[in-house]
Amino acid sequence: MHDIKFIRENPEKFKQGLDAKRAKFDLEGVLKIDRERRELIIKIDELRAKQNAANDEITALIKSKQDPKEKIAAMKGIAAEIGRLDPGLKAHEQQISDLLLGVPNIPHASVPVGGPDLNQVVRTWGEPRKFDFKPKTHIELAESLDIIDFKRATKITGSNFILFKKDGARLERALFNFMLDLHTREHGYTEVFPPILVNRASMTGTGQLPKMEEDMYRLKDEDLFLIPTAEVPVTNIHRDDMLEEASLPVYYTAYTPCFRREAGSYGKDTRGLIRVHEFDKVELVKFVRPETSYDELEKLVGNAEKVFQLLGLPYRVLLLASGDLSFAAAKCYDIEIFAAGVDKWLECSSCSNFEDFQARRANIRFKGKDGKKPAFVHTLNGSGVALARAVVAILENYQTKEGDVIIPEVLRPYMGGKERITR
């Protein structure tokens, strides 16, 4: 959420930021409501000052045994006028709040302005594997190795859901255990295991509501939502909290299943693991001081990259252009891994700095040292990492001519020492 004071004082900068995100917003309309709101505040403050003065006069009259009736009548008239104006002030404030909840964050100055075609590859790691045979897709490998049953998953739930089995289920479990151990032991994150159902306030705090409600899974009889990412419950751990500056930065990591209604229609990508409605993910969330947040973003990306490096999966890091940023992000890096069977780069991690956008919505502040005024924290989050596509890359990049899959060395302790997935 945006600070109306910032919008009022920087209307052109704000408009440019929204234009860069290709967002439509009635800037003049909200500034008009803000002007009316401030005029009401001035009027009410002046009336309250008169009310306080009249109260003092009444007290003085009573002490001097003079008749205060005239002043009491005047004070009642002032109170009535305040009562008449106050609902209008509250209505203006609510109107501004409702309008701003639907407005996206504006991009950081370092973000390229434009659409996805202006996304920049900032670095790469590893080389895509060259095969001396035609590599299979993860769908072919999963079916031949009998480790994922797509047909029964569709029978149980519907299309774009997954039934892992045997070594497929064990590989999934190995991956999120490996990642949680990495992030807690080497990167300094505290592990949490949050609810996967959250309330409307939580979804609003991180920016999924009200804009993207149709893309979310919502319970019919209760105003609760299945989480699209652990970012939602983990960020809301500190909703309405006042943190101590000395406690920052705060790092959390969490494994959760994630649920998204929008799988898209992308031809053959709607089969297999590339686009699914439910997937597992390990999330990284940070609460930091504003002046450190962009250094913390670079560290966050590095934490996600370490996962792919240890798994031996070639990847590239993209700086997203303004038109490709999410609703809440001010700056975002995507990490794409190469999958040999489908011969594609697959986005497997997004790492974003939201600055104080989420913190304002969720009222997450920190108490400054030496009597400094409380300020909003900056929040960041990143996939550390998303598992469905990581499984795609492991199966396709580590396949053998015989149709087996070599298990990455770092995962073998989590797979009982096993070195290969075989039929």
Catalytic residue among 170, 275, 361, 365: 275
Token look-up 């560290």 returns 299
Token look-up 């095969």 returns 131
DSSP secondary structure code for residue 112 in this structure: P
Token look-up 């920049």 returns 120
- Taking Cα atoms as reference points, which of 416, 415, 395, 414 lies closest to residue 406? 395
Dihedral (CA of 315, 346, 398, 254) sign? positive
Residue 387 has phi, psi (to 5 degrees) of -85, -35
Secondary structure (DSSP) of 73-87: HHHHHHHHHHHHHHH
Catalytic residue among 350, 352, 383, 396: 350
Q: Hey, what amino acid is at 361?
A: R
Q: Is 186 a residue of the active site?
A: no
Q: Distance between CA atoms of 277 and 159, rounded to whole angstroms?
A: 8
CA distances from 142 to 164, 239, 416 (A): 9, 42, 20
Instruction: Count the neighbouring beta carbons within 10 Å of the beta carbon of residue 390.
Output: 30
Q: Is 347 a residue of the active site?
A: yes
Q: Distance between CA atoms of 211 and 246, rounded to whole angstroms?
A: 35
143 close to 136: Cβ distance less than 8 angstroms: no
Q: Distance between CA atoms of 134 and 112, rounded to whole angstroms?
A: 38
Q: Distance between CA atoms of 175 and 157, rounded to whole angstroms?
A: 24
Q: Is 110 a residue of the active site?
A: no
Catalytic residue among 170, 172, 231, 260: 260
Catalytic residue among 278, 347, 360, 412: 347
Q: Is 350 a residue of the active site?
A: yes
Q: Where are the beta strands (DSSP E) in 97-151?
A: 120-125
Question: Which alpha helices (DSSP H) does 267-417 contain, by range?
Answer: 293-311, 357-362, 387-397
- Taking Cα atoms as reference points, which of 280, 281, 348 lies closest to residue 313? 348
Degrees to nearest 5, angle at CA 316 with 298 and 162: 100
Q: Which two tokens stand for residue 130?
A: 């060259």
Token look-up 């300094």 returns 188
Catalytic residues: 260, 275, 347, 350, 389
